[in-house]
């Protein structure tokens, strides 16, 4: 079993990668196939990368559900949910910083 710090780090990085790439593609295209493929491929890549380290929950709702069903301790649930939320927030902020100006220019606004 990997250390708690290593599992927390893996969950945070995995969530960051999922949000940044999959949501990023959803922000720049309306092609449903491209969005679905991106989500699926990113999930697969992250699962194969960190799955054996942390279990690859990638979502606080999944961590809470695993805790509720008794498959994850309260400590592990808390220590995986906090990095997930933090890294998802950082990924969202970076997407906003990268894409907001382009969206404003496209809509006719000047930032």
3-class secondary structure, 5: helix
The mean of the pLDDT values for the chain is 89
Helix or strand holding residue 38 (H, E)? helix 32-54
Position 14 confidence tier, pLDDT thresholds 50, 70, 90: very high
- C-beta of residue 97 within 8 angstroms of C-beta of residue 24: no
Who has greater pLDDT, 108 or 85? 85
Q: Give the model's pLDDT for residue 111.
A: 52
pLDDT, tens digit, 9 for 90 and up, residues 38-79: 999 999 999 999 999 988 899 999 999 999 999 999 999 999
- C-beta of residue 54 within 8 angstroms of C-beta of residue 12: no
Determine the distance from the C-alpha atom of residue 13 to the mean position of all C-alpha atoms in its chain, rounded to a whole number. Answer: 8
């Amino acid at each position: 079993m990997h250390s708690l710090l290593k599992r927390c780090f893996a969950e945070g990085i995995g969530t960051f990668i999922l949000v940044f790439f999959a949501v990023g593609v959803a922000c720049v295209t309306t092609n449903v196939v491209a969005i679905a493929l991106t989500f699926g491929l990113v999930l697969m890549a992250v699962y194969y990368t960190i799955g054996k380290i942390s279990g690859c929950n990638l979502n606080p709702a999944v961590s809470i559900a695993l805790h509720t069903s008794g498959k994850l301790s309260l400590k592990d649930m808390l220590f995986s949910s906090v990095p997930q939320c933090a890294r998802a927030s950082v990924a969202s902020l970076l997407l906003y910083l990268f894409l907001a100006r382009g969206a404003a220019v496209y809509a006719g606004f000047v930032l």
